[in-house]
Structure 1
């Protein structure tokens, strides 16, 4: 008999899974309310929550001072290893407020379902549902902010960490399946992308890879992944992974941080795209002396401000 208190997996300090299937979430992000048009807004930004499907929701951001000029649209996917964080968390809300304000874009920040309760590929399917929902507004749709203010010729996708991984998969899928209304992805940014593999790259540690947090997280969030940590979902460089020339976007910005454990994976991604037959505009941006997700956790530092400015320029072009 399995004891109710017998632990199967721990990803400390984030969550604990018991052998009876119970998930104890030790990390519970503080949630922030949206800033409606009836309030002053955050950083000159209004936001509201919407239901996309029974399983998928989002927070939509609109610059307060809009003109008759249509605005670029960013579909954003948050990070958190596919198992923590939220589009509605205070950290994510503050981050997207800053991007919306500085880049003067409409942002749809997607709330996808999390593992281990909803293992991958569910997050990918939820994110595709959200992206298709946004695309429907090129013709008609229930969300007036997108219909009235969105420029569907400048549709961007992007994310941080696991959200960057999701963005990659959305761009690859869009190369095989058409978005509603024939909408095309104009650009994509991958910030500190969450990729990994069994064989170390660059300065990555050679030993103890199967006991690392990255390995254990992947095996928790996608336990049935063929190939495990070398599944193309997490390792886009394995032999059976789709060619990155299939990325369905015209512009790509890859952001890395010099002391991020995932830095070399981001650089390899940039190099592999550059060496492929992909024909778009490719940009690498590296911040020295910073770690993973520094701009989200410490948004007021000078390096974070530089990061925001780079993202804003990319989304404005």
Structure 2
């Protein structure tokens, strides 16, 4: 699984951008974080007078679908034309195109950046389809602040109903809607979790689509009180607080702080919908590493699910960094092995 030079350069640029950030701790999210560095400049975005963002295209490349690949084929199809949302489908290039499990995927980017067509996500999902023998339904959801949460959640939930209706030939011909997994990385992991909670009370409406579980890859969670991993890692260790705070400020509903359940899922002992998730017997897989500033909150969520009796499986490793599972070949392959072990009844 080789990633193009542009993909590696993109993540190298992002890492370099964060090397000299001096982010001071805050425990009250109502106060802006003190920093001499402008996170807008670090992220190559411009805030417009109406509150929208201009995302400088040179720093956020995208790639077209792949119609001739030895790994997987892909194509783009509309989800909701009025909302300008769409789906990129990935079909493995092999002869076993029958009753494939379906992964509904949400990409990362802090809710404000990137696309399912961003090169690293596109490469990762192409390999996901081939390595796991699945049909991938990757959702191009609406971004904040133009569309604050829950817009992204609603778009991915709409994609579940799109899959249920077999709105595309590939889903109808190759997919098995009775074997669906909701998966996401970073902000997408957050989306997978929240959408899973929403879908848990809609099982009748979603029938014959059946969800078998959730996969949260380094999910983007937080809270007003800083975790140990947020504070102990040096400012150079990716996703510094000045950036994550901006992402939450731009994506949460207006007036909400980081203790909103969208950000902090352990607040108030967690969602009441977790009881439904438990009764449905879904497996929840969480992957993370302690070189990620978000690590401790991910572990908190894992422990919450354990306490609530959810069938949860963790894959927590030492070192590494945020985004490692979708950028490094060896880590991605290990992640696929983890997926197979968790969903051994469904995945190749």
TM-score range, shorter chain: 0.7 to 0.9
Distance in 1 separating the partners of 2:244 and 2:97 = 46
Aligned residue for 2:322? 292
Aligned residue for 1:48? 75
Give the match's secondary structure for 1:291. Answer: coil
Aligned residue for 1:264? 296
Q: Is 2:226 aligned against 1:200?
A: yes
Root-mean-square deviation over aligned CA pairs: 2.4
Distance in 1 separating the partners of 2:210 and 2:255 = 29
- The alpha-carbon deviation at position 22 of structure 1 amounts to 5.1
Structure 1 residues 253, 62: closer, same or farther in 2, change over 3 A? same
Aligned residue for 1:191? 217
Distance in 1 separating the partners of 2:168 and 2:241 = 45
Give the match's secondary structure for 1:231. Answer: coil
Q: 2:64 aligned to 29, 33, 36, which one?
A: 33
Aligned residue for 1:149? 174
Runs of 4+ in 1 over 6 A off after TM superposition: none
Contact kept in structure 2, 1:105 and 1:315, CA below 8 Å? no
Deviations 1:25-50 (A, max 9, x none): 136422112122xx2x242x111110
Aligned residue for 2:338? 310
Q: How does 1:82-231 map to 2 (within 5 A)?
A: 82-137=111-166, 142-178=167-203, 179-205=205-231, 212-226=242-256, 228-231=257-260
Distance in 2 separating the partners of 1:116 and 1:255 = 28
Aligned residue for 1:5? none
Q: 1:77 aligned to 91, 106, 121, which one?
A: 106
Structure 1: runs of 5+ lacking an equivalent: 1-7
Deviations 1:230-251 (A, max 9, x none): 1001101111852333436611
Distance in 2 separating the partners of 1:195 and 1:211 = 12
Contact kept in structure 1, 2:39 and 2:243, CA below 8 Å? no
Equivalenced residues, count: 295
Distance in 2 separating the partners of 1:19 and 1:249 = 48
Query: Greater relative contact order (Cα 8 A, min sep 6): structure 1 or 2?
Result: 2
Aligned residue for 2:10? none
- What TM-score do you get using the length of structure 2 for normalisation? 0.78
- The alpha-carbon deviation at position 211 of structure 1 amounts to 6.5
Contact kept in structure 1, 2:189 and 2:217, CA below 8 Å? yes
Deviations 1:259-294 (A, max 9, x none): 10011111111100000033x3x2100232211111
Distance in 1 separating the partners of 2:344 and 2:122 = 20
- What TM-score do you get using the length of structure 1 for normalisation? 0.85
Structure 1 residues 310, 180: closer, same or farther in 2, change over 3 A? same
Structure 2: runs of 5+ lacking an equivalent: 1-37
